[in-house]
Chains A and B, each alone.
Chain A
Amino acid sequence: AQRVTQPEKLLSVFKGAPVELKCNYSYSGSPELFWYVQYSRQRLQLLLRHISRESIKGFTADLNKGETSFHLKKPFAQEEDSAMYYCASSGFQKLVFGTGTRLLVSP
């Protein structure tokens, strides 16, 4: 079964500290991986997808097929990064989401 695991419900860091949001997936095929973000009172929106290999708002994510991980990283967190982050994988034409990690960046 397709599954996405985000082990941390809450990650609290200070401004300027590095951030790593963990995501592990299980899928027998070759899924496409995504990170979606939901800022306070805003819609859930795509942050980045692994095939584009982009850096969005300073965030990057590398797909590690050996470890079946797709961790989201940012070297220096900003207060405006505070949000709910969801990792998702695609397979069989549907998106499966993790339970989400709330990132709180304090000044």
Chain B
Amino acid sequence: KAGVTQTPRYLIKTRGQQVTLSCSPISGHRSVSWYQQTPGQGLQFLFEYFSETQRNKGNFPGRFSGRQFSNSRSEMNVSTLELGDSALYLCASSLGAQGNTEAFFGQGTRLTVV
């Protein structure tokens, strides 16, 4: 079966702009989580969605937001981009709650803010 798909793979944006990233989970998976991966901080949890509801949120400013659609696809939005937002953004899907069942990761979207 198809794995987790993230689009686009690469993005270059200017400070102050906004960006939307997309994640299509594995068919049948209802939980989608987003992580920010940077060399210094590792993977940091952004938020998790389950059946269109945000169940959990990490310690990121309100500029980071997300949503999940009825088909479980999820989008993440970052507004007023800052240079420090440059990172690899990973999406993970799982059958049940994150942590209770195996998380399957996408290949990520590499965002560069200039």
Q: What is the interface of chain A, defined by CB distance below 8 A to chain B? A: 31-32, 43-46, 49, 86, 89-100
Q: Find out whether the CB atom of B41 lies under 8 angstroms from the CB atom of A94.
A: no
Pull 30 A–B residue pairs with CB atoms less than 8 Å apart, ordered by A. Answer: A31-B99, A32-B100, A43-B3, A43-B4, A43-B107, A44-B90, A44-B105, A46-B103, A86-B42, A86-B43, A90-B99, A90-B100, A93-B48, A93-B97, A93-B98, A93-B100, A94-B45, A94-B48, A94-B58, A94-B99, A95-B33, A95-B98, A95-B99, A95-B103, A97-B43, A97-B44, A97-B45, A99-B40, A99-B42, A100-B43
Note all chain A residues with C-beta closer than 8 A to B4.
43
Given contacts A43-B107, A95-B103, contact A100 B56 (CB under 8 A): no
Give the A-B pair count, Cβ closer than 8 A: 57
C-alpha spacing A49/B44, complex, angstroms: 20
B89 within 8 A of A: no
Q: Which residue of A lies closest to B45 (CB)?
A: A94
The interface residues of chain A, by DSSP majority, are classed as strand
Interface residue tally on B, bucketed by range: 20 to 34
Q: B residues engaging A (CB < 8 A)?
A: 3-4, 33, 35, 40-45, 48, 55-56, 58, 90, 92, 97-100, 102-107
Contact of A90 among B40, B92, B98, B106 (CB under 8 A): B98
Whether A97 lies near B56 (C-beta < 8 A) is no
For B100, list chain A residues within 8 Å (CB). Answer: 32, 90, 93
